[in-house]
Amino acid sequence: MSKGRIILHIDLNCFYASVEQIYDTSLKGKPVAIAGNPKERRGIIITCSYEARARGVYTTMNVGEARRKCPELIVRPPNFDRYRTASKSFFNLLKEYSEILQPVSIDEGYLQLPIIEGQNVLQHVQDLQERIWTELQLPCSIGIAPNKFLAKMASDMKKPMGITVLRKRDVPAILWPMPVIEMHGIGKRTAEKLKKLDIQTIGELAVADEYVLKQNFGINGPRMKQKANGQDDRPVDPEAIYDTKSVGNSTTLSHDVTDRDELYEIISMLSEKVAGRLKAKKLAGVTVSVMIRTADWETYTRSKSMNNAINAKEDIVEQAWNLFNKHWHEEPVRLLGVTVSNVSDIKETTQQLTFFNFEEHVKEEPIIKLVDQIEQKFGKGAIIRGSDIAKPAGKHHANTSFSKDFWDEHK
């Protein structure tokens, strides 16, 4: 690790459950689960302690099934104020080690360490892990590697309280024998598609034909091959937390729903929430997705991209409902989600002219020309819309829901 970059991926183990055990020490050493609605039999497990996992409880399992597997399971509702406080302390501690810090969620992040001649990196990381445990009472696993992909893979290898070093030269021996489903960034559907191409291990992906991968996965095909070979040039970017790629909302239903009118109302409600968040962030997107989870736990997502970016509730509802109607086979629904992705600042979006909207653009053209003339004379931003005046001061980034809930408080 003496050359190149030294990148850590730090992952807090069973974060929500660990925080609850801090606030109630009687929970330590016991099977604990955090669920969206513990009183509902169909409430979903968000996370659980390792003691619960040892009894067969896992994330996304419903509360009723979890209690059948582990009758002594202690189920608590989430307390996000506690989790934000603990997360803030965690990232503040990490910043003592390096300013090159990229949070990726409330309980994990990448940290690039400065290269210091003669420094014992492993001892340095052990000290960091020990501080997180003794000062914050939070267990964590840490991966040490020359890039972000390998650091993430390494942190997953020893849990809880593990430290793993993964170098590029270790990739053939350690990663290549693993099934592709265990590779970070590859989900069940991608793994199934790779299997049809006779690619079942990371090693087989590493030597796969790049043209075939690109034909089947687009630009992500060659990227997957690069990572399978331990290659990843992405920087640890402290600003990346502000990059919004999508805005979505989902809800787990308290009962299995088959009534079409009720399902429409749920999609309408979700679309309204998404529209509100998009407008608050001054964003619009060109892709609408609907996620459907059935009563037998099958989950599928369907998407549609459009020529024009949208952020109005009516437009989102129309696209989401059309997608749902096209792909729903009338099976009982347990969870619904609506997402708008491929988003950008609404000022940067372009709208395709049609017979129905060209008059609106013609009316605005003199105003647009006037604004251009003023900006050419006095500088860009010299004149703004009244709706933009109330925009908070600070970094001009589109906040993700994570930064909205947490990161702004952390700065």
Q: Write down the pLDDT at residue 360.
A: 47
Q: How far apart are CA 193 and CA 239, in angstroms?
A: 33
At residue 155, does pLDDT exceed 60? yes
CA angle, 406 as apex, 74 and 244 as ends, to 5°?
A: 115
In order of their start, the domains of the chain are 1-166 (3.30.70.270), 172-228 (1.10.150.20), 239-411 (3.30.1490.100)
Chain-wide mean pLDDT for the chain?
85
3-class SS of residue 32? strand
pLDDT, position 407: 43
Cβ neighbours for 312, distance < 8 A, ≥ 6 positions apart: 275
The DSSP output letter for 405 is I
Q: Where is pLDDT greater, at 378 or 52?
A: 52
Res 27 pLDDT > 80:
yes
Task: Tell me whether residue 381 is exposed, middle or buried, using C-beta atoms within 10 angstroms of its C-beta: 0 to 12, 13 to 18, 19 or more.
Answer: exposed
Q: How many CB atoms lie within 10 A of CB 108?
A: 19
pLDDT confidence of residue 146:
97
The sign one gets for the Cα dihedral 223, 224, 229, 231 is: positive
Rounded to an integer, the average pLDDT of 57-61 is: 88
**Structure confidence by residue, pLDDT tens digits, 76-127:** 999 989 999 999 999 999 999 999 999 998 999 999 999 888 889 999 999 9
Is the pLDDT reported for residue 297 higher than 90?
Answer: no
Extract the annotated binding site.
11, 107
Catalytic residue selected from 20, 65, 96, 108: 108
Total residues belonging to the chain? 411
Distance CA 211, CA 295 (A): 39
Return binding residues for Mg(2+).
Answer: 11, 107
pLDDT tens profile 225-259:
999 999 999 999 998 776 668 899 998 887 889 99
Q: What is the mean pLDDT of residues 350-363?
A: 47
User: Which has more confidence, 328 or 410?
Assistant: 328
Among this protein's residues, is 108 annotated catalytic? yes
